[in-house]
Every structure is written in structure tokens, then in C-alpha cells.
Amino acid sequence: MHTAHAAEPPADPYLWLEDVAGEKPLEWVRERNVESVKALAETADFAALEARIRSILDSKDRIPMVSKIGRHVYNFWRDAKNPKGVWRRTTLEEYRKPEPAWETVLDLDALAAAENENWVWHGASVLKPEDHLCLVSLSRGGADADVVREFDLTAKQFMADGFSLPEAKSQVAWRDRDSLFVATDFGPGSLTTSGYPRTVREWTRGTPLASAPLVYEGRPDDMRVVAYRDLTPGFERDFVQRQVTFWTNELFLRRDGRLIRVEKPDDANAGAHREWLLIELRSDWTVGDATYRAGSLLATDFGGFLAGGRMFHVLFEPTDRTSLVAWAGTRHHVLITTLDNVRSRVDSLTFVDRAWARQPLAGVPEFGTASATAVDELESDACWLVTSSPLEPSTLALGSASLPASAPETQALARFLQRGRPDGRAARSRLERRNADSVFPDRAGESAPRRLRAHAALRLRRVRDSARARLQRGLRIGLARTRPRVCDRQHPGRRRVRPAMASGGAQGTAAAGLSRLQRRG
């Protein structure tokens, strides 16, 4: 009698590449980069494509997207003059002008030169609702790790004795003016196997970080842990989140020094908005006699839920042709962005008479894309609305979650290519004129939609022909040796290297690289 044994898996000859910070793997990557640059970047086509992309990225016709902090709107802007970027601000009234006057808050190019550092902007976390202090995150060369420094928005300078964290993959959040939740590298054993913090502490101003009391400690094989505070006046709450995997997490409410678990499915995302707890499902969830479908968005009274109540309001339930994209809260409403047959829809939901009333948000195009976010959820129902469609350029508009869909259209603040033209006629005219005169000179008498359809068909043929030609050139490079392929992000914070399939190697890498460049162009 013979006993069958499972075959031993073959040894991985590239396991040594898992040492992502080791000198030998890095040298191997540099060698592969040299080969890729020679195969892909040293051509006239690549140079022309690079110049075109750079001109788009540096174009002054881009919309300077803004966020409201206090009485100003802030924008981080990069161009040929400021390659590292400048953090700047202006008033909303000034921003409405075709050429607004900007006030520089932080010049990253000047800071990098003064400190001899290759700083890359990683954002700023503002203490609400004071809007006076913020935590600026700066990365050396664009690495995942960053340095955190406290910044005074009134004085427009870093605080000499303010909060400061050394370079690490930190997660920092304001608790109040004099304390932070800090998840960072506290030394050996304080990081997960993914390289993120597994402990979070409460750090008080003026005390050593090393002595900050522990709030929560996750497991070594977790992805990471974070803590944050809901600063909404009247609804101040502390939360701790244990990110077990990329798709699963546990949420805790911190009250009187102890943690209360929010009893939701591990693969669901949950967040608080004033008195409400909103839960976004990734799988079906049965509660009592009711089953809620995967992809649904539920709302329940937070206090009642913690007390054991399970009364849910279904804010969105998917169908075969609809899906949830995002939700955002304003002062009195919840904005829900969905896809309906790949068309964006934005609804404003309001809780009245023990039920949620729904109305479409004004200003969303019938055919196109749209996204809506709150301007300042603590103060108003105003919202930023970003839209685009086949006949309209990307547009940033200022709307209101309180307005019915029948109200006048939201006021456009900026448009790509044609800033300061709320009616959009110039952009439409330019697009139609180019299609009719430059591409189809013999179609001048036809309607604009017909010219556009013909133009789109021609463009598609040209793109296919160009892609086919570039792919053939890539396959003729002749580097037949098979080599491992670098996967940039297996999950956040970790880089993995895996061997290519037998049909991969330089040919597959060259073809994939060309395809990505064509999509970006």
C-alpha cells in the first residue's frame, strides 16, 4: 500500500528580493531600471510623449482644487516654476475671479533648498474648528515614511517648540489643541509585519513622546492601528481602528479610558456623522429577520446602536446596474454619489419625520461624471461639486446640499481650459470647432453631435493603430531573457517582487510599459 504525499512546492529563487531595503535587491532593481529605460525611454516617441504629459501637468489651465480652512480656501500647486509645490491660499471671493491673487503659506521649493532636503508634500491635518494650527507631513523623496511638524497658519511658519515627529510611517491625529493620537515607530516590536505602527499613544504637549500612555496595541500580523477624534461640536468622540487586513477592520469607541467595540461585520467600513453611524457593506449582513445586501449603505442612531438597538435605515441598496461610489456628510445632510449605468448620480439625503428624504443634487450632468464633498461639514451645507462630460470640460462648482434639483444650477468656480467661464460656451465652441474644422473639414454643415461621433470613431482607430505599432516595436527589442517583474504595491507599505511568467521578461515589460504610457497620454 502506497501513501500519496503532496508534492513539495518548488523553492522560490527570488525570495531574497523580499528584503526590500537590502543593498543587493536594490542593486538588482537599479540594473533592471537601466534596461527598462534603454528599452522604453530612449526613443523619439517617448520624448514627445513625455513633453506632452509634462506640458499638461504644468499647464496653468488646470483647475486649482481647493479646500476651506477658516475664512480662506487653500490649494497646493505644482508647475514648472515650483516643481516641489507651493501651499497657498486666497478668499472665496478672490477665487471666483479669472486670475485670483494667491498668498503663499509654505513654499516647498524654498524650504527644501534652505534645509537641503528633497521634500515631497504629504498633506496637512488641521485642528478643527479653530483652523489655526496644523500638522504638516513631509516625505524625503516621496517615500512612504514622512516627517511631521506643527505649523502655525496665522504666522505662516513652523512652530519652534511645536509637535514634531521623526521620519516614520506615522499616523497622527489631533485630539485637542494640546494632545495628539500618535501611531509611529516606537522602537523594536512596535511595527507590524507590513511595516506600519501596531501601537497608538496619546501624546500631550510638552511631554516626551516616549512616555506617552498607550491607547491600543494591535497584533504583529495586523496591517496597522490608528486612532482619531471626531471634533464635531456636541458630538466629540474618540475612535480606535484596528486594520487587520486591507479589506477587514475593527472599530472601537473610546469612552472613559475603555474601548467599546462597534459590532459591525469585519469587512464593512463604518463612520460617524453627528448622531448617526453609517455602515458600508462589502458582503450580505443578516440582522434578525432582515438581510442587507453587499454594497448597501446603512444608517442607524449611534447611541441606540451601542445600547443594542438594530434599527437600520437603508440609504442605498445596489442593483444590477447601480453601485455606491462614496458618501459625505454636511451640516444637515448626507451626500451619496452612485453610478447608474456608469453615469454619476449625486443625491442629498435629509432625515425628517423619522425617515430619510432624498433629492437629486443640482448641477450634476445627465451624462458624465460627478463627485461631491462638503466644504465645511461643521458649519454649512455647502459642497464642492466636480463634474465633466463629453461636451463640457472638468468643472469645479460650489453647490448646496439643501437646494432641490429644480433650483438654478450650481455656480461654476473654475473650468479646465476656460477658467472663469461659468456658462461653458467657450469650451464647447472650441471643442466643436476643432472637431469640425481640423478633423472633418468636409463636415462643417453637420450637427455637433454627429461630428463628435465621427471624430470619436477616427480617434479610436488612430489610438488602436498607434498602440499596435508601439507594441510591435516593443516586441522587437530583442531582450529575450526572462526576469522577475516588480509589483509596485501588493498592499500599502510593502513592496513585493515576483518572478515573471515564462512568456514575460523584457518583451512583456516593454509592452506593458508602452500600454501604460499610452493610457496616461
- pLDDT tens digits for range 129-181: 999 999 999 999 999 999 999 999 999 999 999 999 999 999 999 999 999 99
Check residue 405 and give its pLDDT. 57
Q: How far apart are CA 139 and CA 123, in angstroms?
A: 10
Closest CA to 186 of 202, 172, 199: 199
Q: How far apart are CA 439 and CA 453, in angstroms?
A: 12
Q: How far apart are CA 26 and CA 198, in angstroms?
A: 27
Tallying the residues shown for the chain, one arrives at 521
Which parts of the chain register pLDDT below 50?
417-460, 463, 467, 469-521
Long-range contacts at 500-505 (CB < 8 A, ≥ 24 apart): 505/479, 505/480, 505/481
Q: How far apart are CA 80 and CA 428, in angstroms?
A: 28
Check residue 411 and give its pLDDT. 63
| Residue 367 CA to its chain's centroid (Å) | 24
DSSP SS3 for 425: helix
Q: How far apart are CA 456 and CA 439, in angstroms?
A: 10
355, three cell numbers: 425617515
CA-to-CA dists, residue 425 to 233, 406, 408, 420, 469, angstroms? 43, 22, 17, 11, 37
98, three cell numbers: 479669472
CA geometry: angle at 233 spanning 228 and 234, to 5°? 100
The residues near 88 (Cβ < 8 Å, ≥ 6 apart) are 74, 75, 76, 77, 102, 103, 104, 105
Q: How far apart are CA 172 and CA 181, in angstroms?
A: 6
* Residue 494, strand partner residues: 491
